[in-house]
Structures are given as C-alpha cells and as structure tokens.
C-alpha cells in the first residue's frame, strides 16, 4: 500500500499479486488491447511531431516497461502524448536537430524527478471532480471525432487524439468534412463489422473469453486480404506502417543519442522546463482521471508517478525517443479491457518491442479502420449520455464546469481546456464558500428573540462580506449568539467585524454573546489536519 503523496511503502510489498492467475487472466488480454491501441498512436504522434516513426514506438516501449515498473499506479499507461506534439514539433525545428532536442527531453526528465522529490505532485488533489469528469468526456468526444476519418478510410495523416487544431492548418471538424468527401467503402465495411463485434461480442459470455478487440483486429486483417484486388481494396496509407528491420545493425541504427555539447544552450533549457511542466501536468490530470474510472477505486501516488515519468523521459532522451506522459486514452482502454494490475501496462510495452523485432510485416497488415472502431467504442464509454444526465442531476455548480471543460478541451487542447474549466470550477467553489460561512437559527424566548449564528469550520476573508451584511441586517432588541465552537480557523478580518459588532451592538439594543471565539487563530498546519481530522 502506498500513500498518495510519496508512494512510500506502508506495509509489506506483495509482488506475488502481479503473477496471480486471477489477475494475469485479466491483465494479459487487456495488454493486447492496449498494445493494439498504442501502436498506431505511437506512430501517429511521432509523425505529427516531425520525429522519426521509430521514436514513437520506442517511447511507447519505455513508457510501458520502465514507467510501468516504477509507477505506483496500477492502471495508468504512459507513452508519447498528442498534447505535446506542437511543443515537440516547434522544439525540433527551433533547436536545429533532433539530437539537440533529445538533450532537452533528458533534462526534462531530471526536472520531473526533482518535482517528485519535493512533492509537487500534491497539486493533483486540487482539481475539482467536475473538471476531471469533463476532461474525460472531452477526450472521449475528441477520440470519436479524430477516429471517424480513419473509420471511413480517410487516412491522410495520423493526427493525435487530444488536440482540436492540427499542424496541417486544419482542425477536427474540417478533418471530418474532408473524410466525408473521400469515403473508402472497404474501410467502412471493416469499421462497421468491427463496431458490431465490439458492441455485441461481449454479450456472449461463453465466447467472450476471446477479447473483442483481438477479434476485431483478426477480422480486419482477413477482410483486408479478401478485399485485395477488388474495388474495396485498401491503400497502403489505410494500414498500420512500422519500420521493418532486416538485421541487428539496422535495428541499433534506429537509436539516436542526445547532443550533450548543447548543454549551455539557453533554448535547450527553456524547452526542457516547458516539457517538464506540461508533461507533469498532463500526467497528473491523466492519473487522476484513471483513478476515477478504476473499478476498485485505488489511489495512485502522484509524487512517485512524477519520479517514474522523469526516469522514463531520461531513458527516452538517451535512446532517441519522445517526451512521454501518462495518457488517458490508453489508460481508459486499459481499464475498459478489464486490467487489474500494472502487469498489463508492462506487457503492452513488451509487445510493442516484440512487434518491432519479429512481426513488423504482419503488423503492417492491420487496417487503421478496425483500430479506429476500438477507439470509437472507448470514446463513447468516456462520453456516454448517462454521464451527462448524472452531472445534470448534481446541480449547476457541477454541470456548468463539466460542460465548459468539455467545450474548452475539444476546441483548444487538454491543458488550456482544463485551465478554463478550473477557473469556472473555482468560481463556483468560491461562490458556494461565500454563501455558507454560517448557520442561522432563530429561537423563541419569552422576553426577546434569540438569534444563533453558528460559524462554519473554516471562515476565510471570502466570507467577510456575507457575515458583515448579515450582522448589519439583524433586527433591533434581539439577543445574538455567535458560536465558533466548530471553527478551526476564522480570518482576522472576520474577527474584527465580529468584535466591532459586539462593541457597537448596544446602539441597536442588541445583546451579543460570543461562544468559543478566540481573539486570534493560526492557520492549521497540514500535519495537524491529517492527525486530527475532526
């Protein structure tokens, strides 16, 4: 068991759970699903980033094996992130070479480890639930829109899964419009069959021992071969394409090393800091989202995750990979496929490596349209209609930040969208906080009316106006009891208002009694709150 903040072992570490048959029978099939989802995304993100295709797969391998092993999260999957594509593309161009960019990736990893050590991961605890739910739904909607062109056979590019604007001056909507004018009927047939298998195959419980996504890929390959030589034949760009190596020297020739001579370049450090901050925020957001959809509701240690991601980025920079983050698309696919432990993530990394080494030609037979069908279903599960109904019933204070986050993420990108959602979410939190600084109760008395004002547990400067208005509006010739029994902290400005009111209440013939209200309150320390939550 690990604490959320630092992942320090709090009991004996049970490594045996990762090899229990009841877990492996879930983790192995789910690792295949994540592998099939990750493969085209790794390639696509590398292409969109202006980097060698090999670097995308290499990043997926490191994210699975290295980060998966070091991470305290059981279901999160790390790899190249579409949210970083523009940063990476501009950095490679601006720094002049891919090797110099690799140095920035390595330094970003070092910075992330430092952030984990100083426990910066606790920032993840301050994201409102409605914003996280909105981010998940937005990712689902973007997945559906991004994969639709591939589902109908328009595969001019491998655009990422988390951005509205694209590096080719088009956006998600224009991409869909272009796709509708260039439909490939062979791809449509494959995607329709694939969707039917994804939806209906799991209902046959006796047959569902074979994962639906695996069946989708097999049927896609078979249909693609059948369509060969006909009008329905798929073109090369409608199939997965990974590098094919003939021998060991060709394989090792794919690796690249960072240009350490650029260590004094100011732009390298600016790029490293940018990547470290953006990648860390995306990782923490994705980690929080993955924990939300974990059926067992486990809590992942955020600081340990930053250290794991930093180690992954150091190795990625040394070998010629891209910067990585925890990615919600692959993580959600992992959860939906039934994964139970981190073995699914690790095995998916191993499968990426094996596919690169031994079966690149076979992998290149897989149609992108059948992979798109897998992601379409994953996207719908993230943005299901029932989720919108649930958030609506939670009230406007939850629904509005939820919807705003969705719109902002879809129309901008993950970080900007979540930032906008956070602003709206914080507004509603402050609005609620300002409206609830006290409980107001009127008691009957034979002589005069008694008004009891019971202050909340935390009374901040934000409550100042509400309390002042209430005290000013109290009727004359009443008895007022201001009760601070439950208050851990009362802001000095509020205390001043209360004491001034008591001293001047005689002018309105008001009798004021203060109960358990100190002259001064110190801000509670985090350690005290943990040790004495009540």
SS (H, E, C) 196-236: HHHHHHHHCCCCCCCCHHHHHHHHHHHHHHHHCCCCCCCCH
Predicted pLDDT of residue 175: 63
Predicted pLDDT of residue 455: 87
Predicted pLDDT of residue 243: 77
The runs of H, that is alpha helices, within 49-171 are 53-62, 68-70, 85-95, 98-117, 129-151
Pinpoint the residues of the chain covered by CATH 3.30.750.24: 436-531
Mean pLDDT (10-residue bins), the chain, 534 residues: 41 65 89 87 81 92 96 94 80 93 97 94 78 84 83 63 49 65 85 92 75 84 92 87 80 91 95 91 88 88 95 97 92 89 95 89 87 83 90 91 92 82 86 63 68 85 80 88 88 89 90 90 59 50
Predicted pLDDT of residue 436: 60
Kindly state the tokens that stand for 196. 């039917």
Taking the CA atoms of residue 465, residue 403, residue 375 and residue 331 in that order, the dihedral angle to the nearest 10 degrees is 10
For residue 176, which phi and psi values (nearest 5 degrees)?
A: -65, -40
324 strand-pairing partners: 80
Predicted pLDDT of residue 258: 96
For residue 478, which phi and psi values (nearest 5 degrees)?
A: -125, 165
Kindly state the tokens that stand for 390. 């649930």
**If you classify domain 436-531 with CATH, what class do you get?**
alpha beta
Predicted pLDDT of residue 188: 92
Kindly state the tokens that stand for 374. 């897998």
Q: Which helix (H) or strand (E) holds 391?
A: helix 385-393
364: DSSP letter:
T
> By C-alpha distance, which of 248, 213, 330 is closest to 282?
330
Predicted pLDDT of residue 161: 43
């Amino acid at each position: 068991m690990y604490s959320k903040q630092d992942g320090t072992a709090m009991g004996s570490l049970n490594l045996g759970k990762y090899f229990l048959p009841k877990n492996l029978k879930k983790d192995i099939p789910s690792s295949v699903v994540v592998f099939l989802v990750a493969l085209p995304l790794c390639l696509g993100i590398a292409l969109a980033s202006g980097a060698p295709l090999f670097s995308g797969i290499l990043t997926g391998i490191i994210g699975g094996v290295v980060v998966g092993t070091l991470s305290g999260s059981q279901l999160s999957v790390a790899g190249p992130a579409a949210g970083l594509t523009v940063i990476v593309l501009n950095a490679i161009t601006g720094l002049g070479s891919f090797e110099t960019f690799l140095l920035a990736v390595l330094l970003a990893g070092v910075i992330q480890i430092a952030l984990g050590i100083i426990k910066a991961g606790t920032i993840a605890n301050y994201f409102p639930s409605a914003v996280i739910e909105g981010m998940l739904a937005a990712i689902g909607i973007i997945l559906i829109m991004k994969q639709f062109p591939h589902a109908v056979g328009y595969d001019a590019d491998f655009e990422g899964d988390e951005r509205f604007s694209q590096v080719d001056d088009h956006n998600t909507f224009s991409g869909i419009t272009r796709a509708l004018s260039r439909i490939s009927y062979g791809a449509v047939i494959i995607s329709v069959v694939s969707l039917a298998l994804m939806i209906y195959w799991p209902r046959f419980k006796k047959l569902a021992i074979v994962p639906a996504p695996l069946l989708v890929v097999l049927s896609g390959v078979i249909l693609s071969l059948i369509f060969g030589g006909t009008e329905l034949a798929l073109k090369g760009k409608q199939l997965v394409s990974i590098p094919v190596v003939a021998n060991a020297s060709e394989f090792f020739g794919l690796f690249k090393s960072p240009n350490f001579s650029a260590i004094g370049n100011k732009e390298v450090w600016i790029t490293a800091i940018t990547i470290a901050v953006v990648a860390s925020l995306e990782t923490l957001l994705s980690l929080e989202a993955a924990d939300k959809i974990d059926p067992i509701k486990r809590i992942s240690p955020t600081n340990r995750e930053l250290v794991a991601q930093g180690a992954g980025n150091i190795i990625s920079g040394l070998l010629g990979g891209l910067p990585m983050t925890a990615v919600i698309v692959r993580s959600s696919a992992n959860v939906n496929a039934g994964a139970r432990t981190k073995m699914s993530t690790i095995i998916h990394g191993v499968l990426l490596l094996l596919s690169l080494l031994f079966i690149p030609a076979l992998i290149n037979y897989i149609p992108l349209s059948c992979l798109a069908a897998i992601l379409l279903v994953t996207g719908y599960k993230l943005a299901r209609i029932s989720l919108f109904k649930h958030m609506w019933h939670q009230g406007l204070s939850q629904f509005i930040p939820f919807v705003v986050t969705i719109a902002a993420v879809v129309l901008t990108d993950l970080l900007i969208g979540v930032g906008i959602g956070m602003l709206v979410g914080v507004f509603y939190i402050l609005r609620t906080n300002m409206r609830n600084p006290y409980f107001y109760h009127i008691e009957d008395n034979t002589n005069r009316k008694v008004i009891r004002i019971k202050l909340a547990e935390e009374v901040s400067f934000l409550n100042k106006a509400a309390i002042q208005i209430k005290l000013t509006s109290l009727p004359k010739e009443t008895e007022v009891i201001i009760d601070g029994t439950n208050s851990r902290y009362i802001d000095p400005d509020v205390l001043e208002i209360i004491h001034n009111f008591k001293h001047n209440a005689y002018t309105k013939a008001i009798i004021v009694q203060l109960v358990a209200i100190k002259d001064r309150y110190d801000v509670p320390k985090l350690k005290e709150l943990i040790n004495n939550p009540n």
